[in-house]
Amino acid sequence: MEQPLALMARYVYKGFGTGTQRAPILRGVSLEVAQGQTVFLVGPSGSGKTTLLSILGCLLTPDHGSVRVLGKDVSHMTPDQLTTFRRKHLGFIFQSFHLFPTLSAIDNIRLTLTMQGATLKSATQRSQELLEQVCLGHRGHLRPAQLSTGECQRVAVARALASDPHILFADEPTASLDAENGQVVMHLLTDLMRSRGRTLVVVTHDDRIAPFADRILRLEDGAMSEEWSAPAEEASPSRLRFLQFGGAGEWFANLPAPILAQEKA
């Protein structure tokens, strides 16, 4: 049985600037993402990856085209409606963590939950559980400056999962991490999301984490150019380890020939 769609975009256009200075960023992008999939958006700088992520995550609205998230047409929602929808259904992880420097790790998570209406007691319990899940249960009292870069990103992961989002969007989640910490963060993300049947969309330049994807979509010049999907028997991080292929470069060399994404009229 086919999984229902978590995301669907049709002929999405987006530009920035005004008048003759307006620069097109996305040029008619269409895609579908099934619930429970882990999808990577890759491509050169300036190809529109982060803009597309922001539109799919209801942070930006397209100039033209339609976007459905969890079956809802979000293209024409008001800012207040989008804010409410994001809070209920979506989570975000950013490269720079966006942790409050004056708050402890557990307070960074707890604040998110209390802002969503949770009681202090339930928010504290949930925050501690999340820290345990990312192997930081003993570090919750520390502030970001007292944590390593990898630990800060794990706190950001825990905070993003606090509301149990149906879709989690991650923009360059391993860019600030070394190879070992990048692997740890991606194992956490993919394992936690897959165990809940949730959808994960990642923008990345980091080819070291490519084996964690079920699908890889490539953007170039604001358009979808290529797609690769893992065979069903390989679509799990436990079976796609870099040691299988001796490194990221060799892993990419073993990919099937790219499938050109031909949009049907």
**CATH assignment of the domain containing 223:** 3.40.50.300
In a domain, 195, yes or no: yes
**What is the number of structural domains in the chain?**
1
- Across the chain, which distance is largest between two alpha carbons, in Å? 56
Q: What is the pLDDT of residues 45-100, one digit of tens each?
A: 889 999 999 999 999 999 999 999 999 999 889 999 999 999 999 999 988 888 99
In a domain, 184, yes or no: yes
Q: Name the band, by pLDDT with cuts 50, 70 and 90, for residue 261.
A: very low
In a domain, 201, yes or no: yes
Prediction pTM value: 0.83
Say what the pLDDT of residue 234 is: 52
Let me know: does 131 contact 105? Beta carbons within 8 Å. yes
For 144, half-sphere exposure in the C-beta direction (CA atoms, 13 angstrom radius) is 17
Q: What is the pLDDT of residues 213-222, one digit of tens each?
A: 999 999 999 9
In a domain, 199, yes or no: yes
- Residue ranges making up the domain that contains 172: 36-48+78-260
Let me know: does 214 contact 38? Beta carbons within 8 Å. yes
In a domain, 225, yes or no: yes
The C-alpha atoms of residue 174 and residue 172 are separated, in whole angstroms, by 6
In a domain, 203, yes or no: yes
Distances (CA, A) of 233 to 103, 142, 204, 229, 253: 43, 41, 24, 11, 19
In a domain, 265, yes or no: no
